[in-house]
Amino acid sequence: MIRKTDDIIIRTVARILVPFIQIYALYVIMHGHYSPGGGFQGGVILGASIVLLLITHGLVETKKKIPEKAIALFSSMGVFIYAGIGVLCLLLFGNFLDYGKLSVILNIPPAAARAMGILGVEIGVSITVMAVMISIFTSISTAEDHSKYDKEH
Amino acid sequence: MIILFDLIILIFVVICAVTAITVKDLLSAVMILGAYSFFMCLLWTEMGAVDVAFTEASVSAGIGTILFIAAIIKTTRRSKD
């Protein structure tokens, strides 16, 4: 259903704009624990950049850049990173998501280990949110045409 | 934290909300809902909740509007009955 637009202006502007949107999303994720923003908002902005590519360049061309298998893999990988950090703290005799215990593996003081731990969790959240946003959009826009279905039945 | 500014944005929010549910065309309703989200985002920022405003702007005005439009493309312009 979503196909490439014929307008060269829209295609060029979208292609130029996408990297800047992604850089901004990475900024939002990285500064999530100092300033407004974080994993969820950054992930949504990352997903929006791919959705912009989808509605301007079509499904076929975007699938070459980010295949559907990769999206499915990303959406479970983010949860795995989140839960993995939590269980890793559990294995180091701390509570679930007790980042202070990570200082043993990372070889840094506990305060710095807390900052690194929350950053890892934010990255996991952002990967999952990005993949889920893209897959929701593709499954809404490529679903079967219901007006045709109503005529047949 | 200026009361007058608060009230002006609040009036715009109420106008957008009432228009979005009374307008007949679905696409216009979604566009007005996007405007509602941006006014809501301004209101959150003005009240000092910058994190909530960020979420409102990115999720509700950005992805939400796109998902609504993707669903509306599936419908027809006029109702059948």
pLDDT per residue as tens digits for the range A116-145: 889 999 999 999 999 999 999 988 888 765
Task: Give B-chain residues touching A28 at CB under 8 angstroms.
Answer: 54
pLDDT above 60 for A113: yes
pLDDT above 90 for A32: no
Distance CA B21, CA B69 (A): 16
Distance from CA of B62 to the nearest CA of A (A): 7
Distance CA A126, CA A78 (A): 7
Distance CA B43, CA B20 (A): 18
pLDDT in tens, B45-66: 999 899 999 999 999 988 999 9
User: Where are the domains positioned within chain B?
Assistant: 15-72
Residues of A in CB contact (< 8 Å) with B are 1, 28, 36-38, 40-41, 44-45, 47-48, 51, 55, 133, 136-137, 140-141, 143, 145-147
Q: What is the pLDDT of residue A140?
A: 87
Chain A: residue nearest B67 by CA?
A137
Distance CA A7, CA A15 (A): 13
Q: Which residue has the higher pLDDT, A116 or A146?
A: A116
Question: Are A2 and A141 within 8 A, CB to CB?
Answer: yes
Q: What is the pLDDT of residue B79?
A: 67
- Dig out the tokens for A84 from the structure: 């993995």
Which of A29, A49, A140, A142 should one mutate to test binding to chain B, selecting the residue with the greatest count of B CBs within 10 A?
A140
Chain B: residue nearest A137 by CA?
B67
The values of phi and psi at residue A98, to 5°, are: -95, 85
Distance CA B32, CA A114 (A): 43
- Dig out the tokens for A67 from the structure: 């295949």
pLDDT above 70 for B23: yes
ipTM: 0.82
- Dig out the tokens for A53 from the structure: 């590519």
Q: Among the listed ranges A15-24, A82-91, A139-148, B25-34, which one has the minimum average pLDDT value?
A: A139-148
Which of B66, B68, B73, B76 should one mutate to test binding to chain A, selecting the residue with the greatest count of A CBs within 10 A?
B66
pLDDT above 80 for A148: no
Q: Among the listed ranges A39-48, B7-16, B66-75, which one has the minimum average pLDDT value?
A: B66-75
A 10 A CB-CB count for A120 gives: 16
DSSP letter string, B18-72 = HHHHH-S-HHHHHHHHHHHHHHHHHHHHHTT-HHHHHHIIIIIIIIIHHHHHHHH
- Dig out the tokens for B10 from the structure: 């609040």
